[in-house]
Chains A and B, each alone.
Chain A
Amino acid sequence: MDFFLSRYRNLTVLLIVIVAQLVLIAYQVKTSRDVPLIRVWAVTAVTPVEQVLEVVRRYTWGFVEDYFVLLGVKSENDKLKHENGDLKLQNNYLKSELSTADRARALSVFQAHSQSKTVAARVIGNGTGANSKVVFVDRGAASGVESGMAVVTPDGIVGKVVDAYPTASLVMLITDPTFAAGVISEKNHVRGTLKGQGHSECLVDYVQNEEAVDSGEWFYTSGDDRIFPRGFPVGQVSAARNGKTFKEIYLRPSGMQGGGVEEVLVVLEGVHQQIPDSEMATPGYKILAPPADGVTHASIPEPGGTFLATDADRLRQQYKQAGAAQNHVFGEGLPGSKPPDFSKIPGIRAAQPPVPSGRGNGPSAPVPASAPAAANSGPAPTTSSASKPPASKPPVNADQSVVAKPKPKPPAPPLTGDPAEPDTEAAPRPRSSQPAAAPVAPKPPRNP
């Protein structure tokens, strides 16, 4: 044994060392446990040196490295500035493209939902002239555009066509000093004339000082000018104050937000729309809520299906009935022939037709709230009873309260359809006689 160990001493030591390490590995693998002692010693011996090396490196090589890095900072800064400028340009271009796409989509949606027949156009240039606000659009007579047509956007009116050429048209913007259009306010339906001022705001003229117009109120086209269909948004009141004769009302045109337009719609055939509903101007006293059936006495359906809108209609109906009772046919008698005896008409009140319960327009058929009282109290009124509410009784609904206001001028004749203004002195038509989708005017944002 001694001989063997002395002869193969190196090999024996090697085997012992190898086996010892194998056992160590087997122990670690078998028990999944580490030998922390050796690791702690090694790490404790190595890491301080490593920390020292790191500190030395940081303050020597790191310093040199930072110096050389700083040498390149200026050129890198210039390069980054240049790159930043390029990116800003690219960003602005992409924003512009996105905005154009949004506008085009809004325009197409508006065009699809609007009752008016329109054609989309793009502004291709400005007109010359120091103070004139005119632009050229890329649609002309070849596209059906004619002088006098309205030009709008989904946000509001933009102007009107003043000249139509074969391939282009000249559009006068509403900010042009010579521009004018009929407008009507949202809350109290105050009428006025929109005038351009040559700058970003427009003036609403010819509004009496007694009329109530609030700042922030919206104005819509009234249709009176026979150019713009009724119900298109015009703009929001930025300032309203009393003037010498008329109110001074300044408007921010909603169709020209941002100072200019790029895509517009030329209204080839306009259809009047309703002014969007809004909250009533505060009357200063409490008013009742409108009745559930929303009836007025101004539109009483006849048994035959016609509507006696006014007292004159009722009077004519009575005369017709009297003529029919005497076998008289109106329009056939020769001059000098004996007319029917109208003295047999029992009286206006007696001749008033009964109110049907379910005929005519069904549930929407209006039933006058004050009709019995009016019928028993004296002669028939010359206008609807809504125009003369009892002094102690507030109007029964919003429309009636607005109707009670005296109007400075009569409503304009219709453009293509009937403006069907609910506050005109003529009795309103029932809803069934309104255009199928009349209230399509987009409601402009309250706070643009």
Chain B
Amino acid sequence: MTEYTEQILTGAPRKQRAERMRIVWLITIPLIAVLSQVYVPRFVPFLSYLELPLLITVHFALSRHGPMSAVFYGMSIGLVQDSLSHQPIGMFGIVKTLVGYFAASVSMRFDVENPIVTFIICFFFYFFHQFFYWVLARALLGQAMLFDVQQTLVFGLLNALVALPLFKVLDKLRVVR
């Protein structure tokens, strides 16, 4: 195990909960993310690939809030997304619940402040999110949805790229306790 690898796996955890986001931001930011998802593509259709609620969920989970809170946070964001969609309520909820749980679990083992790790985690969870949603749609709703792997991979890369500056901005909103 090299020194760098060791640093990634066992590096100093992210400020060890000394910094937490205010509750108002915890509510407002997901709302803005959902709003941007339903509002921005009206004027910039190209940005419809952005899955900001997912990135917010991942960021929250990586902030060492704990798996429990990440589960409920992801579930809440997912349910709000479901409410504004035409699908049965719970589809995004289940997917984001799992994403929140696994992201929180990953954050326990990796130095998630490393940009490369953040990029890989975001890319992976975007792919997981899309794939699991496709599985649920086929299994639970019987919908013959298409899953374009190449497009999903490309969009995953783009979302991971967006996640790097976004996480920096969101980290700024945290306050020291």
In the assembly, what is the distance between CA of A39 and CA of B87, in Å?
11
Q: Let me know if B89 and A24 touch, CB within 8 A.
A: yes
A43-51, A105-113, A142-150 - the one binding chain B: A43-51
Q: Let me know if B101 and A10 touch, CB within 8 A.
A: yes
Question: In the complex, how many angstroms separate the beta carbon of B55 from the nearest chain A beta carbon?
Answer: 18
Q: Let me know if A39 and B71 touch, CB within 8 A.
A: no
Q: Let me know if B84 and A42 touch, CB within 8 A.
A: yes
- Count residues of chain A with CB under 8 A from any CB of chain B: 25
Q: Let me know if B141 and A29 touch, CB within 8 A.
A: yes
Q: Let me know if B83 and A42 touch, CB within 8 A.
A: yes
Q: Which residues of A contact B79 (CB under 8 A)?
A: 38, 42
Question: In the complex, how many angstroms separate the beta carbon of B131 from the nearest chain A beta carbon?
Answer: 16
Q: Which residues of B contact A24 (CB under 8 A)?
A: 88-90, 93
Question: In the complex, how many angstroms separate the beta carbon of A29 from the nearest chain B beta carbon?
Answer: 6
A14-22, A164-172, A345-353 - the one binding chain B: A14-22
Indicate if B12 sits at the interface (CB-CB under 8 A): no
Q: Let me know if A43 and B83 touch, CB within 8 A.
A: yes
In the assembly, what is the distance between CA of A254 and CA of B148, in Å?
74
Which residues 6-45 of A have a CB within 8 angstroms of B? 9-10, 13-14, 17-18, 21-22, 24-26, 28-29, 34-35, 38-39, 41-43, 45
Question: In the complex, how many angstroms separate the beta carbon of A202 from the nearest chain B beta carbon?
Answer: 71
* A22 in contact with B89 given A38-B83, A50-B38 (CB within 8 Å): no
Main secondary structure of the interface of A (DSSP, over half): helix
Question: In the complex, how many angstroms separate the beta carbon of B25 from the nearest chain A beta carbon?
Answer: 15
Main secondary structure of the interface of B (DSSP, over half): helix
Q: Which residues of B contact A391 (CB under 8 A)?
A: none
Q: Let me know if A25 and B90 touch, CB within 8 A.
A: yes
In the assembly, what is the distance between CA of A39 and CA of B86, in Å?
10
In the assembly, what is the distance between CA of A413 and CA of B115, in Å?
114
Indicate if B39 sits at the interface (CB-CB under 8 A): yes
Q: Which residues of B contact A9 (CB under 8 A)?
A: 68
Name the 5 nearest CB pairs between A and B, nearest first. Answer: A42-B83, A21-B90, A28-B88, A25-B90, A10-B67
27 A–B contacts from the bound complex (CB under 8 Å)? A9-B68, A10-B68, A10-B71, A13-B71, A14-B97, A14-B101, A17-B97, A21-B93, A24-B89, A25-B89, A25-B91, A29-B88, A35-B89, A38-B82, A38-B83, A38-B89, A39-B83, A41-B83, A42-B83, A45-B31, A45-B80, A46-B31, A46-B34, A46-B38, A50-B35, A50-B38, A50-B39
A→B interface (CB under 8 Å):
9-10, 13-14, 17-18, 21-22, 24-26, 28-29, 34-35, 38-39, 41-43, 45-46, 49-50, 53
